[in-house]
Copies of this chain bind each other. A is one copy, B any other.
Amino acid sequence: MELTVNELAKQLKAELIGEGSGLIRSVGPLGAANQAAVTFVTGDKFLNELKQSRAGAVLVVKPVVPDKIGATPQLVVKNVNAALIEALKIFAPKLQPAIPGVHPAAVVAQQVKLGKNVSIGPCAVIETGVEIGDNTIIASGCKIGQNTKIGVNTRLDSNVAVYHNCVIGNSCIILANTTIGSTGFGYYFIDGAHRLIPHNGIVVIEDFVEIGANCCVDRAKFGETRIGAGTKIDNLVQIAHNVIIGKCCLIAGQSGMGGSVKIGDGVVLAGAVGIIDNIEIGDAAIVGARSFVIKSIEPGMHVLGSPSIEHKEALRVWAGTQRLPKLMEQVKELSARVEKLETAKNNSGPGRS
C-alpha cells in the first residue's frame, strides 16, 4: 500500500499542515520512521525527537510550530492513538484472507452447524454438536470439542484446543496453542489416593475477549469459569476452574489465578501476577507486576509486592528492604551506645550520687 500524505490525511480525516505530495508506505516510531513512513507524537516531550526524525509525516493532536519540527508534514487528528491504529491497518502487510468453507483436510462431524463464511482450516477437528457463527475462522490444527458454541466474527488461531460444551462469544480472538475448557486441578484424597473431581461445568468467554498464545482456561467444577466482555489476556496465563473475570480487564503475560478467584470490571494485572484461590479483586483495581495476592483487594486499589500491599507502601517496603543490611548495622551500633550509657549510669548510680 502506498498513499500520498494528502490521501492519508483524507483517509484519517486529518487536517494536513505542510506539503502533501510525499509518498507513505508504512508506520514507524519517531526514531525508526524513514521518509516513506508516517510517525506519531503523543506529547510535547517528544517534540525534540520529532525534530530529528526523518519521517515523511507525523500524527499530532494539535499543530506544532513548524520550526520545531522542520518541514515534516503534520496530520492533525482528534486522537493520535485512534489515528495510529487506522494508519497501521492501512499499511498492514497484505495477506491472503482465510478461505471460507471447510478445508478438505479438516475433520468436521455430521451434527455441526456452521454459519455463513465460516472458515475451517486444514487438520482442524470439529466434533459433534458444535455450532460456529458467521465469519468465524477456525485455523489449522484446532480442536473444537462436542457441543461447544462459538459466535460470529471470532478467530481461533492454529492448534487451539477447546474442550466440550464451552461457549465462546462474538468477535473474540484466541492465539495459537491455547487450551480452553481443560479439567481443573481439583482432587479429593480418598482411601490413599488423589481422586479427580469430575468437572461438570464449562467455560464461557464473552464477546470481544482476546486471549494470547499458550494460555490455559480450565472449565468449572460446577457452573462456569467466565471471562467478561472486552477483557484482554496476554500469553501463558493460567485461569483456574470457576474463576470469574469481569469486563474490560487487562491481564498481562504469565499471570495465574487460583480456583474461584473473582475479578471485577476494568481490573489490570500487570504481568506475572499470582492470585491464590477464592480471592476477590474489586472493580478497577490495579495489581503491579509480579505481585502475589493473598488478600482480597478493594475496588480502585493499586497494590504491589509479594504479598501485595498498597502500591506506595510497597515501594517504601522495597526501599526499606534494600536498606536492611545498613539498618542492621545501625541497630548494632545503637545497641553498643546504649550499653555504654548503661555502664556509665551504673558507675555513677544512686549508691554513689
Q: Which A residues contact B (CB, under 8 angstroms)?
A: 26-29, 32, 79, 81-82, 84-85, 88-89, 91-93, 95-96, 103, 105, 107, 121-123, 125, 127-128, 139-141, 143, 146-147, 157-159, 161, 163-165, 173, 175-179, 182-183, 185, 187-188, 190, 193-198, 200, 208, 210, 212-216, 218, 221-223, 230, 232, 234-236, 238, 240, 248, 250, 252-254, 256, 258, 271-272, 274, 276, 289-290, 292, 294, 306-307, 309, 313, 316-325, 327-328, 330-331, 334-335, 337-338, 341-342, 344-345, 348, 350, 353
CB distance from A54 to the nearest CB of B (A): 14
Query: How many angstroms from the CA of A103 to the CA of B122 in the assembled complex?
Result: 14
Which residues of chain B are within 8 angstroms of A28 by Cβ–Cβ distance?
A: 222-223
Query: How many angstroms from the CA of A123 to the CA of B104 in the assembled complex?
Result: 12
Q: Which 7 A-B pairs have the closest CB atoms?
A: A320-B324, A161-B176, A179-B213, A81-B188, A88-B198, A143-B158, A216-B235
List 14 A-B pairs, Cβ < 8 Å.
A26-B222, A93-B147, A125-B141, A161-B176, A177-B214, A182-B235, A185-B235, A213-B218, A216-B236, A235-B238, A274-B290, A313-B322, A330-B331, A337-B342
Q: Which residue of B lies closest to A319 (CB)?
A: B325
Given contacts A271-B276, A321-B317, contact A254 B256 (CB under 8 A): yes
The answer to whether A317 and B328 touch across the interface, beta carbons within 8 angstroms, is no
Which residues of chain B are within 8 angstroms of A182 by Cβ–Cβ distance?
A: 157, 175-176, 212-213, 235
The answer to whether B93 and A165 touch across the interface, beta carbons within 8 angstroms, is yes
Which residues of chain B are within 8 angstroms of A82 by Cβ–Cβ distance?
A: 188, 190, 195
Query: How many angstroms from the CA of A163 to the CA of B350 in the assembled complex?
Result: 84
Query: How many angstroms from the CA of A250 to the CA of B194 in the assembled complex?
Result: 9
Given contacts A95-B164, A193-B248, A232-B185, contact A143 B146 (CB under 8 A): no
Query: How many angstroms from the CA of A157 to the CA of B234 in the assembled complex?
Result: 23
The answer to whether A88 and B200 touch across the interface, beta carbons within 8 angstroms, is yes
Query: How many angstroms from the CA of A183 to the CA of B213 in the assembled complex?
Result: 9
Q: Which residue of B lies closest to A103 (CB)?
A: B107
Which residues of chain B are within 8 angstroms of A26 by Cβ–Cβ distance?
A: 200, 222
Report which of B89, B256, B322 forms a contact with A272, defined as CB distance below 8 A. B256
CB distance from A116 to the nearest CB of B (A): 24
The answer to whether B107 and A107 touch across the interface, beta carbons within 8 angstroms, is no
Query: How many angstroms from the CA of A95 to the CA of B219 in the assembled complex?
Result: 15
CB distance from A343 to the nearest CB of B (A): 11
Which residues of chain B are within 8 angstroms of A213 by Cβ–Cβ distance?
A: 161, 179, 182, 216, 218
CB distance from A29 to the nearest CB of B (A): 6
Q: Which residue of B lies closest to A307 (CB)?
A: B318
CB distance from A69 to the nearest CB of B (A): 20
The answer to whether A125 and B125 touch across the interface, beta carbons within 8 angstroms, is no
Given contacts A143-B141, A238-B254, contact A328 B323 (CB under 8 A): yes
CB distance from A110 to the nearest CB of B (A): 11
Which residues of chain B are within 8 angstroms of A177 by Cβ–Cβ distance?
A: 159, 161, 177-179, 214
The answer to whether B327 and A253 touch across the interface, beta carbons within 8 angstroms, is no
The answer to whether A322 and B306 touch across the interface, beta carbons within 8 angstroms, is no
Q: Which residue of B lies closest to A254 (CB)?
A: B256
Given contacts A82-B195, A178-B214, 6 further A-B contacts (CB under 8 A): A141-B159, A163-B176, A235-B238, A317-B324, A334-B334, A337-B338
